[in-house]
Amino acid sequence: MAGGEVVVETLDSRVLRGNPLRDPARRDIAIYLPPKYDPTKRYPAAYAIVGYTGTGKSLLNIDPLGEDLKSKLDRLIRTGKMGPMIVPMVDCFTRVGGSQYINSSAIGRYEDYLLKEIIPFIERRYRISRRGVWGKSSGGYGAIVQAMLHPDTWQALADHSGDSCFEFCYIIDFPAALEAFRDHGGPAGWLRWYWRQPNRRKEGFFHPLNALGMAAHYSPNPRSPHLGIDFPFDLETGEWRPEVWARWRAWDPVNMVERYARVLRRMRLVYIDCGTKDQYNLIWGARTLHAKLTKLRVRHVYEEFDDTHSNIQYRYDTSLPLMWKALSR
Binding residues for its own copies, rule: CB under 8 A, are: 53-55, 57-58, 60-66, 93, 97-98, 165, 167-168, 171-172, 174-175, 178, 198-203, 233-234, 236-240, 254, 281, 283-285, 287-288, 290-291, 307-308, 310-312, 314, 317
* CB closer to its own copies, 116 vs 241: 241
CB of 175 to its own copies, least distance (A): 4
Query: Are 87 and 96 contacting, i.e. CB atoms less than 8 angstroms apart?
Result: no
Give per-residue burial for 171-198: e unless 16+ CB within 10 Å, then b.
Answer: bbbbebbbebbeebebbbebbeebeeee
**DSSP of 74-91, one letter per residue?**
HHHHHTTSS---BEEE--
Beta-sheet pairing, 269-275 with 301-305: parallel
* CB closer to its own copies, 123 vs 179: 179
* CB closer to its own copies, 28 vs 123: 28
CB of 276 to its own copies, least distance (A): 8
Q: Which amino acid is at 11?
A: L
CB of 179 to its own copies, least distance (A): 8
CB of 62 to its own copies, least distance (A): 4
* CB closer to its own copies, 126 vs 245: 245
* CB closer to its own copies, 5 vs 63: 63
CB of 206 to its own copies, least distance (A): 10
* CB closer to its own copies, 154 vs 174: 174
Query: Are 143 and 174 contacting, i.e. CB atoms less than 8 angstroms apart?
Result: no
Q: What angle do CA 153, 213, 158 make, to 5 degrees?
A: 35
CB of 29 to its own copies, least distance (A): 13
CB of 42 to its own copies, least distance (A): 30
Mention every residue, 6+ apart, whose C-beta is less than 8 A from residue 211.
170, 173, 174, 177, 231
The H-assigned helical ranges of the chain are 69-78, 110-112, 119-125, 138-149, 166-169, 174-183, 187-196, 206-218, 242-249, 253-256, 261-266, 282-295, 316-328
Tally of CB atoms within 10 A around 242: 8
Query: Are 13 and 114 contacting, i.e. CB atoms less than 8 angstroms apart?
Result: no
Mention every residue, 6+ apart, whose C-beta is less than 8 A from residue 279.
308, 309, 310
Determine the Cα–Cα distance for residues 121 and 324; give it in Å rounded to an integer.
21
CB of 253 to its own copies, least distance (A): 12
Determine the Cα–Cα distance for residues 159 and 143; give it in Å rounded to an integer.
6
* CB closer to its own copies, 7 vs 128: 7
* CB closer to its own copies, 156 vs 180: 180
